[in-house]
């Protein structure tokens, strides 16, 4: 049992109000800490991070980042059409680290100048050459940096400098891409000492490219969250309105989505019916229900729907763009909510089985301008209090992988990105009102706001830092994994 200090019992407290006391002598290195955890009953993550279904946070790019780094992304549904959301699922499912699909190609009639122009725009030199300069015609050669670097005459046609098809080493689509096996392409690259390997179909048309530098990068993603077909996993948010949700869930399942988050600011009765319908019609889909914020609701849902629910999403208004607590006088301090609900789940486990908790919202790190050190204190606290994963919005909205452009804020003198609550007027005008069950109402009370968050650069740099920070926090307390942390954490008020 973790120890909760008596001063905290029956009190409301936030992450900032508590600290974790180190009581053990660590005898292992930081990188030996294992963060493996359950996202849902049947989906295991190596990193306890979930990106929030918000239209300034999770579309395909974010979902790919999260899955590659061991977490998972939930794609929002604030699109004009269901198909637009499902298209994002397709992008995640088709993504295969290591393969460059739709590569830029040129024709033998193009010149060295064209190669330099493309290099300026995209930063690479290797280009397959096809009969008519599109992917619809046959491969006739390849141009790489070696072929153009000492050439002075920019008007020279590529037909004169390319390595022609008969001297090219290529790989077959059926033996690489179709098996989702970049390593077989890597073997060919090494064997022939190549920088670039075109992948072709039976018609000798290029379908993808593998480069030595990309292969090196994919070796980094040993934590990736994948299904049995080696595709990255992703979830979608669906509305808590049966009629709409049915179509979305059906299309999501066809696109290969791994599960759904039935999205609402509080659990509606209708959600339980959607959960039941989903399990009856798509038993492979994992179902997340929420949001919840008290032990009473945990018990109620377990009683009514434990067999239809694979994880709880927990948080009543702690988010950075939330105004529910101020506006409506209801909600909960997140840290105490996580403790209460996880205790209830534990107490009821013998009767209803294990169900993981996603602590949603309120994760902050100090925004020190000019530092890029990720400080994951709140995340470790959420895990210590009993959550299996944390869901984050504002922390991830500043990354390159979130939708929207970065801007310069002259008053603050820093780069920022926009982040908006799904209950803000701006988001509701699109479709976000569904989340608050007020889409048909003439008078809408906003429960969210639009804010700016600091621009944080590439998530491929940021997330590994955050992971290292959590491992360091566990190591300091002498815990080798989340289970040990949850069994022995010593939680005290500050």
- Interface mask toward ligand XMP for 154-193; x: CB under 6 A: ----------------------------------------
The answer to whether residues 109 and 134 touch, using CB atoms and an 8 Å cutoff, is: no
How many residues make contact with ligand XMP (CB under 6 A)? 26
Distance CA 395, CA 419 (A): 10
The least distance separating ligand XMP from the CB of residue 202, rounded to whole angstroms, comes to: 46
The least distance separating ligand XMP from the CB of residue 373, rounded to whole angstroms, comes to: 19
Q: Please say which residue, 356 or 423, places its beta carbon nearer to ligand XMP.
A: 423
- Taking Cα atoms as reference points, which of 473, 459, 399, 455 lies closest to residue 65? 459
Q: Strand 357-360 vs strand 235-239: parallel, antiparallel, or unpaired? A: unpaired
Eight-class DSSP state of 361: S
Distance CA 399, CA 139 (A): 38
Exposed, middle or buried, 290 (CB in 10 Å: 0-12/13-18/19+)? Answer: buried
Bridge partners (DSSP) listed for residue 345:
none
- Interface mask toward ligand XMP for 84-123; x: CB under 6 A: ----------------------------------------
The least distance separating ligand XMP from the CB of residue 68, rounded to whole angstroms, comes to: 20
Residue 341: active-site member: no
Distance CA 24, CA 478 (A): 5
Q: Please report, as residue ranges, which positions from 331 to 370 form the binding site for ligand XMP (by CB under 6 A).
A: 360-363
Q: Please say which residue, 317 or 376, places its beta carbon nearer to ligand XMP.
A: 317
Q: Please say which residue, 70 or 423, places its beta carbon nearer to ligand XMP.
A: 423
Spot the catalytic one: 332, 431, 435, 456: 435
CA 451 and chain centroid, separation? 21
- Provide DSSP, 113-160: HHHHHHHHHHS---EEEETTSSTTSBEEEEE-HHHHTT---TT-BHHH
Rule CB under 6 A: choose which of 112, 200, 309, 391 binds ligand XMP: 391
Of all residues in this chain, which one has the CB nearest to ligand XMP in the complex? 448
SS3 of residue 373 by DSSP = coil
Residue 309: active-site member: no
The answer to whether residues 91 and 60 touch, using CB atoms and an 8 Å cutoff, is: yes
- Region near ligand XMP per CB under 6 A, out of 209-217, 315-323, 367-375, 481-489: 315-323
- Interface mask toward ligand XMP for 28-47; x: CB under 6 A: --------------------
Q: Please report, as residue ranges, which positions from 416 to 445 form the binding site for ligand XMP (by CB under 6 A).
A: 421-424
Q: Please report, as residue ranges, which positions from 392 to 411 form the binding site for ligand XMP (by CB under 6 A).
A: 392-395
Q: Please say which residue, 260 or 320, places its beta carbon nearer to ligand XMP.
A: 320
The least distance separating ligand XMP from the CB of residue 315, rounded to whole angstroms, comes to: 5
* Residue 78 interacting with ligand XMP (CB under 6 A): no
SS3 of residue 493 by DSSP = strand
Distance CA 275, CA 288 (A): 8
- Region near ligand XMP per CB under 6 A, out of 215-223, 236-244, 312-320, 407-415: 312-320
- Taking Cα atoms as reference points, which of 174, 179, 182, 242 lies closest to residue 209? 182
What is the three-state SS of 293-314?
CCHHHHHHHHHHHHHHCCEEEE
Bridge partners (DSSP) listed for residue 389:
358
Spot the catalytic one: 165, 322, 341, 456: 322
- Region near ligand XMP per CB under 6 A, out of 92-100, 304-312, 321-329, 346-354: 321-329
- Region near ligand XMP per CB under 6 A, out of 35-43, 232-240, 415-423, 460-468: 415-423
Distance CA 435, CA 491 (A): 34
Q: Please say which residue, 244 or 425, places its beta carbon nearer to ligand XMP.
A: 425
Measured CA angle at 317 (ends 225, 481), to 5 deg:
35
The least distance separating ligand XMP from the CB of residue 490, rounded to whole angstroms, comes to: 26
The least distance separating ligand XMP from the CB of residue 364, rounded to whole angstroms, comes to: 7
CB neighbourhood size of 219 (10 A): 12
The least distance separating ligand XMP from the CB of residue 139, rounded to whole angstroms, comes to: 46
The answer to whether residues 171 and 210 touch, using CB atoms and an 8 Å cutoff, is: yes
Q: Please say which residue, 368 or 445, places its beta carbon nearer to ligand XMP.
A: 445
Phi/psi at 142 (5° precision): -145, 145
Eight-class DSSP state of 161: H
Which residues are tagged catalytic? 322, 435
Binding site for ligand XMP (CB under 6 A): 52, 54, 265, 291, 315, 317, 319-322, 324, 360-363, 391-395, 421-424, 447-448
């Amino acid at each position: 049992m973790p120890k909760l200090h008596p001063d905290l019992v029956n009190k409301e407290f936030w992450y900032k109000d508590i600290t974790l006391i180190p009581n053990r002598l660590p005898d292992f290195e930081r990188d030996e800490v294992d963060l493996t955890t359950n996202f849902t009953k049947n989906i295991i993550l190596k990193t306890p991070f979930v990106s929030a279904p918000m239209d300034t946070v999770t579309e395909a790019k974010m979902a790919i980042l999260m899955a590659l780094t061991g977490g998972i992304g939930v794609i929002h549904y604030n699109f004009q059409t269901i198909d637009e959301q499902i298209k994002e699922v397709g992008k995640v499912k088709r993504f295969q680290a290591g393969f460059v699909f739709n590569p830029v190609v040129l024709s033998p009639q193009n010149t060295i100048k064209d190669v330099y122009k493309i290099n300026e725009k995209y930063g690479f030199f290797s280009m397959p050459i096809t009969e008519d300069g599109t992917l619809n015609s046959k491969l006739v050669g390849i141009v790489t940096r070696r072929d153009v670097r000492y050439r002075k005459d920019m008007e020279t046609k590529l037909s004169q400098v390319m390595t022609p098809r008969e001297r090219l080493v290529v790989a077959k689509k059926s033996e690489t891409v179709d098996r989702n096996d970049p390593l077989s392409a890597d073997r060919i690259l090494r064997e022939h000492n190549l920088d670039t390997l075109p992948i072709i179909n039976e018609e000798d048309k290029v379908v993808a490219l593998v480069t030595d530098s990309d292969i090196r990068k994919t070796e980094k993603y040993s934590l990736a969250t994948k299904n049995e077909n080696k595709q990255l996993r992703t979830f979608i948010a669906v509305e808590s309105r049966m009629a709409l949700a049915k179509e979305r869930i059906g299309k999501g399942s066809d696109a290969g989505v791994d599960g759904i988050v039935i999205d609402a600011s509080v659990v509606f009765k209708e959600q339980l019916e959607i959960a039941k319908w989903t399990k009856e019609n798509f038993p492979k889909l994992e179902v997340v229900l929420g949001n919840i914020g008290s032990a009473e609701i945990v018990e109620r849902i377990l009683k009514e729907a434990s067999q239809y629910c694979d994880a709880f999403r927990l948080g009543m208004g702690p988010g950075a763009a939330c105004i529910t607590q101020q506006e409506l006088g209801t909600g909960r301090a997140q840290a105490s909510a996580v403790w209460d609900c996880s205790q209830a789940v534990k107490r009821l486990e013998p009767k209803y089985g294990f169900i993981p908790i996603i602590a949603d919202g309120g994760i902050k790190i100090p925004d020190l301008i000019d530092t890029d050190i990720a400080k994951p204190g709140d995340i470790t606290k959420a895990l210590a209090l009993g959550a299996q994963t944390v869901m984050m919005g504002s922390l991830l909205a500043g990354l390159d992988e979130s939708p929207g452009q970065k801007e310069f804020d002259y008053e603050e003198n820093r780069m920022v990105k926009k982040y908006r609550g799904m209950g803000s007027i701006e988001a509701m005008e699109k479709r976000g009102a569904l989340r608050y069950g007020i889409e048909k109402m003439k008078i809408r009370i906003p429960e969210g706001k639009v804010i700016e968050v600091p621009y944080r650069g590439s998530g491929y740099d940021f997330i590994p830092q955050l992971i290292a920070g959590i491992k360091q926090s566990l190591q300091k307390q002498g815990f080798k994994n989340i289970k040990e942390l949850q069994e022995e954490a010593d939680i005290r008020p500050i």
